[in-house]
Amino acid sequence: MKYFSTRGGDERLSFEEAVLRGLAPNGGLYIPAHLPALPENWQHDWAKLSFTDLALELYSLFIPDDEIPRDDLRDLIERSYATFRHEQVTPLHRVGDREFILELFHGPTFAFKDVALQFLGNLFEYFLKRRNAGKPEGQRERLTVVGATSGDTGSAAIYGLRSKQDISIFILHPKGRTSPIQEAQMTTVLDDNVFNLAVEGTFDDCQDIVKQLFNDTEFNSRYHLGAVNSINWARILAQTVYYFAAWFSVQSQVPYDVLEPQVQFAVPTGNFGDVLAGWYAKHLGLPMDKLVVATNANDILARFWKTGRYEKADSGEPEHYDDEDESAQAGHQSYPSLSEDEAFSRQQEAVAQAVQLSGASDGKQATPAARLGTPVSSAKGTAGTVAETLSPAMDILVSSNFERLLFYLALEGTTAGAVAADGEVDGGQAARVRMAAENVKLWMDKLKSEHRVKVPRTAVEAARRDMIADRASDDETTKTIQKYFAKKDAYGPYVADPHTAVGLSVANRIAKTNPPNVIQIVLATAHPAKFDSAVSDALASEPSFDFKRDVLPKEFEGLLEREKRVIDVKNDREQVKSVIREHVDKLFAAPSVAASGL
């Protein structure tokens, strides 16, 4: 298994290289060269597996045994999930006859990010120990982990990497835009290799700085930056496991009167990594209905599914596609209209075979197809602003992981006879991959320069076959928290955090038009104690509610009063570079080298 960038290029990386590098030099995200097939009898053979054993089977599909021997991989997985408080790691909680909540907050920092970041931290340590075996101090390879957080990634990454040998971690968070508990979880960790930077700006500002640092060739080469945000492929891989675990768990809990049940996952969504893991699970072969993308007022994703435009600010324009007109003007043939079954079949084929890069051109002069979706915009968009909501971990303007989905959508729309930028016609899968990557780069460049991009109708239709999307306001979020706490049936009361409430609110709306055989599973991404203000305010009129008794875990008691360490910085890449340079050089005072071979 090799990995390559969504924006193309000749790089073909091993799993280790993709994990340690994080972000491709051309700004793209690493994806696997193909989606492996599940074992023939997986539904039977995996049905009774524990979470850790299920993770071992899934990870092994993407991590060759010659990179991490199976026994070593098993040990990494077991150590990663030994820190979780629930024996099932991500248990299902029933809240209705056909409604479940998948609790992902039983890790050390009480958020779903722990599932991936406990594993990623152990991966980093494993790879560096292997590289540094027998090396004297001055020749050891180091890793400087740099990440941006809107709240939960930071603490989960810190807990996964604190005190790890040869690793330093720098987490950027938007000053004053995380909950007090979230901030305290990060800034009260005083290990020598942990550094928290409070940035005067938004999460998107933090994320932009991180991407700029990764694209700074000289700085990256000197300090070898490692990624913990969901741009790192290992995080997406780790998150696929709980979709399979939930699917197996719910099979024994389906009501007797539900015939041919279909599972529908609803996912509170900010940076798109969590729901993308569900998309990968679906295309690996996990049976499920359309995934539900649930956003708050920062609804760039919900608007994409509605209008076909990926734009930072809502232009208010109706849905319209002009890629066919443009392709005709360019002298290219536009795409044929496909039935839904034909289109889904083609998408499954494209994804399953997706990027089998070893295949050569078939050599046939196929009819030229349109270049997929050269970005079209009737007017330059605006940069937009991030709205502050009750669900701050989702207060994101641009979802970085969406680029991975865009690649597969672009791949589906690129036919076997692809027309390159120079007009050359090339057939075969390799040509399709090359053209899909070229179009992704065009789209992302357009988004950066004009703050918006339209993609072709074929791409939007493909996205709509796999996912549906909607948003929930703060008022709806509050009412949903109240609704589930007030449940008087056998499934209540339940205290949801505001992010989970966004997912529940959107899922409830969609459930009204679902067929009766659909079973909903809403992902609970954080423990309600992390958002005490939103939860307490929503339930202030409930006389039976006591936050400390009903919600607050013992691990949070006194957290806000503990000693903190944080570095205030401006929204300035050069200042952040200076801080990293100063502290890494001091931490590893002896001469050493950055992690090599990348």
What digits encode the pLDDT tens for the residues 309-347?
999 988 888 787 754 433 332 323 233 344 444 444 444
Domains: count for the chain: 2
Mean pLDDT, rounded, of the chain: 88
Residue 546 lies in a domain: no
Task: Report residue 281 as tokens.
Answer: 């699970």
Bridge partners (DSSP) of residue 524 are: 103
* pLDDT value at residue 276: 98
- 143 and 222 in contact (C-beta within 8 Å)? no
Q: Calculate mean pLDDT across residues 90-110.
A: 97
Bridge partners (DSSP) of residue 370 are: none
Integer angstrom CA distances of residue 446 from 93, 210, 325: 43, 20, 19
Instruction: Note whether 453 and 566 are same-domain residues.
Output: no
Where is average pLDDT lowest: 268-272, 527-531, 579-583, 592-596?
Answer: 592-596
CB-neighbour burial class of residue 224 (10 A; exposed 0-12, middle 13-18, buried 19+) = buried
Rounded CA separation 438/442 (Å): 6
Does the pTM surpass 0.95? The reply is no
Reported as a pLDDT band with limits 50, 70 and 90, residue 383 is confident
Residues 6 or more apart in contact with residue 450 via CB below 8 angstroms:
375, 377, 380, 381
- 462 and 412 in contact (C-beta within 8 Å)? yes
pLDDT at 228 over 50: yes
Domain stop point among 463, 484, 502: 463
Rounded CA separation 271/391 (Å): 13
Can you give the residue range of the structural domain that contains 564?
3-78+112-235+560-594
Catalytic residue at 113? yes
* pLDDT value at residue 139: 87
Reported as a pLDDT band with limits 50, 70 and 90, residue 148 is very high
Rounded CA separation 574/570 (Å): 10
- Going by C-alpha positions, the residue among 500, 543, 548 that lies closest to residue 525 is 500
* pLDDT value at residue 475: 98
Which one of the listed residues 2, 113, 175, 312 is annotated catalytic? Answer: 113
CATH number, domain of 58, equals: 3.40.50.1100
Residue 451 lies in a domain: yes
* pLDDT value at residue 419: 43
Residue 533 lies in a domain: no
For residue 493, whether the previous peptide bond is cis, meaning omega lies within 30 degrees of 0, is yes
Residues 6 or more apart in contact with residue 71 via CB below 8 angstroms:
none
Residue with more model confidence, 8 or 419:
8
Tokens 């806000």 sit on residue: 560
Q: Calculate mean pLDDT across residues 489-493.
A: 89
pLDDT at 233 over 50: yes
Residue 285 lies in a domain: no
pLDDT at 106 over 60: yes
- Going by C-alpha positions, the residue among 1, 15, 2, 24 that lies closest to residue 227 is 24
Reported as a pLDDT band with limits 50, 70 and 90, residue 117 is very high
DSSP 401: T
46-72 pLDDT, tens digit each = 999 999 999 999 999 999 999 999 999
298-309 pLDDT, tens digit each = 999 999 999 999
pLDDT at 408 over 90: yes
Instruction: Note whether 46 and 157 are same-domain residues.
Output: yes
Rounded CA separation 114/160 (Å): 8
- 116 and 73 in contact (C-beta within 8 Å)? no
Rounded CA separation 380/300 (Å): 16
Where is average pLDDT lowest: 75-79, 310-314, 564-568?
Answer: 310-314
Rounded CA separation 582/88 (Å): 43
Rounded CA separation 127/137 (Å): 17
Give residue 384's identity as a one-letter amino acid code.
G
Q: Calculate mean pLDDT across residues 364-386.
A: 46
Give residue 405's identity as a one-letter amino acid code.
L
Residue with more model confidence, 361 or 314:
314
pLDDT at 473 over 90: yes
Where is average pLDDT lowest: 16-20, 82-86, 469-473, 485-489?
Answer: 485-489
Rounded CA separation 355/563 (Å): 50
Note the helical H segments in 486-594. 498-511, 532-538, 547-550, 573-587
The secondary structure of 44-76 as a DSSP string is HHTTT--HHHHHHHHHHHHS-TTTS-HHHHHHH
Rounded CA separation 233/29 (Å): 8
* pLDDT value at residue 427: 55
Residue ranges of E strands in 271-325: 291-295, 309-311
Rounded CA separation 324/337 (Å): 11
Reported as a pLDDT band with limits 50, 70 and 90, residue 349 is low
Residue 278 lies in a domain: no
Instruction: Note whether 231 and 354 are same-domain residues.
Output: no
Rounded CA separation 209/224 (Å): 16
Instruction: Note whether 58 and 161 are same-domain residues.
Output: yes
* pLDDT value at residue 332: 30
Q: Calculate mean pLDDT across residues 388-406.
A: 95
Domain stop point among 463, 489, 517: 463
Reported as a pLDDT band with limits 50, 70 and 90, residue 550 is very high
* pLDDT value at residue 41: 97
Rounded CA separation 424/445 (Å): 23
Tokens 């193309």 sit on residue: 8
Reported as a pLDDT band with limits 50, 70 and 90, residue 131 is very high
Instruction: Note whether 231 and 329 are same-domain residues.
Output: no
Q: Calculate mean pLDDT across residues 74-93.
A: 98
The secondary structure of 417-445 as a DSSP string is SEEPTTS-EE-SHHHHHHHHHHHHHHHHH
Reported as a pLDDT band with limits 50, 70 and 90, residue 579 is very high
Residue 470 lies in a domain: no
Residue with more model confidence, 203 or 424:
203
- 81 and 54 in contact (C-beta within 8 Å)? no
Residue 297 lies in a domain: no
pLDDT at 76 over 90: yes
Is 505 in a helix, a strand, or coil? helix
Reported as a pLDDT band with limits 50, 70 and 90, residue 384 is confident
Residue with more model confidence, 523 or 326:
523
Rounded CA separation 466/455 (Å): 16
**Radius of gyration of the chain, Cα coordinates, nearest whole angstrom:** 23
CA 164 to chain centroid: 24
Rounded CA separation 183/150 (Å): 10
Q: Calculate mean pLDDT across residues 558-562.
A: 95
Rounded CA separation 520/265 (Å): 6
Q: Calculate mean pLDDT across residues 351-371.
A: 38
How many C-alpha atoms does 559 have within 13 Å on its Cβ side?
20
Residue 407 lies in a domain: yes
156-184 pLDDT, tens digit each = 999 999 999 999 999 999 999 999 999 99
Domain stop point among 447, 463, 479: 463
* pLDDT value at residue 373: 34
* pLDDT value at residue 322: 57
Rounded CA separation 155/110 (Å): 10
Residue with more model confidence, 165 or 367:
165
Q: Calculate mean pLDDT across residues 227-243.
A: 96
Give residue 209's identity as a one-letter amino acid code.
I
Q: Within 10 Å of residue 450's Cβ, how many Cβ atoms?
A: 17
